[in-house]
Amino acid sequence: MKIKSFKPKMLIALALLLLPTLAAAQDGDLNGANTAWIMTSTALVLFMTLPGLSLFYAGLVRTKNALSVLMQCFAIAVVVSLLWLVVGYSIAFGPSESAYWGGLSKMFFNGVVVDSMTGDIPETVFSAFQMTFAIITPALVVGAFVERIKFSSMLLFSSLWTLVVYFPVANWVWGGGWLGQMGLIDFAGGTVVHVTAGVAALVTALVIGQREGFLSTPMMPHNLTMSFTGAAMLWVGWFGFNAGSALAADGTAGMALLATHMSAAAGALTWMLIEWIKHGKPSGLGAITGMVAGLATITPASGSVGPAGALLVGLSGGVICYFATNYLKQVIKIDDALDVFPVHGIGGMVGTFLAGILVSDQLGILSGNGYAEGMTMASQSMVQVTGIAAVAIYTAIVTFVLLKLVGVVTSGIRVTAEQEQVGLDITDHDETGYNM
């Protein structure tokens, strides 16, 4: 067979194609693969909130409040994005020497330019990725106070809470702050996201009180098809949440992705089996709630454990979060409407604690990546407990103070009994989610 000659034009074209790659290799700073993956992860995490969490939550409330929940999640995304630009990124990841906040030197993204880098990815990409975590955390809290909070109160509270709870805690753990310096293992947000959101949800539910008719009037989800759709989006988007936290397209990201999937599956199956045994039938609502419990529980440990460890984490999350949910509602009668504290708060605590144990490389099939130099199971577990307790206590105190302050500013956090009866879609937005 005759081989065609290699024409000069073909050589020139090939050189032009390879030139950007060669330039990047010579530069040695920007890693194209890592950058592309974190940009994709940024989109996935935002996808978790809009539309994933929005649809998941909206389907779980009554018809008359569906639009209000969608609006709350959407508005939080808008406001927190702007807060992130003004001061959030600076507080969380600024270069301050303080162990408690990052300072204000990066306000309005000062110094974040086209060629500024975080590791081997552009700082613009890193900051956008971290912004999506700041967006979803206060949006999770929405599940605690749906169907009974003023829109103005919700917006003010969520803004202030993100400013004085989420941003500083993110610095403590990920921005070079005191918990990170202690060696806290929180790969993707067990404390930063789930403990803060869960504890805030619990405090909010206690302060704002039960919905009218709680435990005496049926309050069934109005559209589980919508919730299933949102839950599926959460499952997919969580790969960006956890695997993206490696900040690289590497083996750690791959393992985090695999661990995330296994824990979600284990959590869903565990919840279904418990319901099957206790009630004779597994529910769809239980399946998707168990999945979210598995995802929340593996979040802090996803960069530290293998697939078998993730299986154990997911099983633990499914069991513990199931009984915590029932205890909260049925025994002590706290109206955390969409189970934010028992699923995200308890799940984040369990996962953060287990990360300190399962990271050990001496557990056979359950072994993780191994302890940092100088750490043992006992010392690491103590660090994990310290991180959980500190974040939970700080969040609880500040959340309570903010709720009282917002109540004064907005003349009461809660809508009137008549407005609650009519539904927030009409009273807050003069619209309805359905034209029926």
Q: What is the rounded distance in angstroms from the CA atom of residue 365 to the CA atom of residue 320? A: 23
Residue 121 forms beta bridges with which residues? 118
Q: What is the rounded distance in angstroms from the CA atom of residue 51 to the CA atom of residue 270? A: 26
Confidence band, pLDDT 50/70/90 cuts, at residue 435:
confident
3-7, 190-194, 338-342: lowest mean pLDDT where? 3-7
pLDDT digits (tens, 9 = 90+) for 400-415: 999 999 999 999 999 9
Domain membership of residue 23 (yes or no) is no
Residue 158 lies in domain: 32-429
Confidence band, pLDDT 50/70/90 cuts, at residue 23:
very low
Domain membership of residue 26 (yes or no) is no
Domain membership of residue 179 (yes or no) is yes
Q: What pLDDT score does 16 carry? A: 40
- Tokens in use for 296? 């929340």
- Which residue type is seen at 268? A
Domain membership of residue 328 (yes or no) is yes
- Tokens in use for 12? 């020139």
The reported pTM is 0.92
Q: What pLDDT score does 18 carry? A: 43
Q: What is the rounded distance in angstroms from the CA atom of residue 172 to the CA atom of residue 169? A: 5
Strands, E assignment, 82-170: 117-118, 121-122
The fraction of the chain above a pLDDT of 90, given in percent, is 92
pLDDT digits (tens, 9 = 90+) for 203-249: 999 999 999 999 999 899 999 999 999 999 999 999 999 999 999 99
Determine the 3-state secondary structure of 373 from DSSP: coil
Q: What pLDDT score does 7 carry? A: 53
Residue whose entry in the numeric block shows the structure tokens 């917006």: 155
Domain membership of residue 435 (yes or no) is no
The three state secondary structure string of 161-219 is HHHHHHHHHHHHHHCCCHHHHHCCCCCCCHHHHHHHHHHHHHHHHHHHCCCCCCCCCCC
Inter-axis angle of helices 32-47 and 123-145, to 10 degrees? 20
On the question of a cis peptide bond just before residue 221, with omega within 30 degrees of 0, the verdict is no
Domain membership of residue 4 (yes or no) is no
Cα 72 versus chain centre, distance: 16
19-28, 179-188, 214-223, 331-340: lowest mean pLDDT where? 19-28
Phi, psi of 117, deg, nearest 5: -125, 150
Domain membership of residue 11 (yes or no) is no
Q: What pLDDT score does 22 carry? A: 38
Assign residue 397 the CATH number of its domain. Answer: 1.10.3430.10
Residue 6 vs residue 379, higher pLDDT? 379
Confidence band, pLDDT 50/70/90 cuts, at residue 29:
confident
Q: What is the mean pLDDT of the chain?
A: 93
Domain total in the chain: 1
Domain membership of residue 8 (yes or no) is no
Q: Stretch 146-174: mean pLDDT, rounded? A: 98
pLDDT digits (tens, 9 = 90+) for 66-109: 999 999 999 999 999 999 999 999 999 999 889 999 999 999 99
pLDDT digits (tens, 9 = 90+) for 48-63: 999 999 999 999 999 9
The Cβ-side half-sphere exposure at 365, using a 13 Å CA radius, reads 5
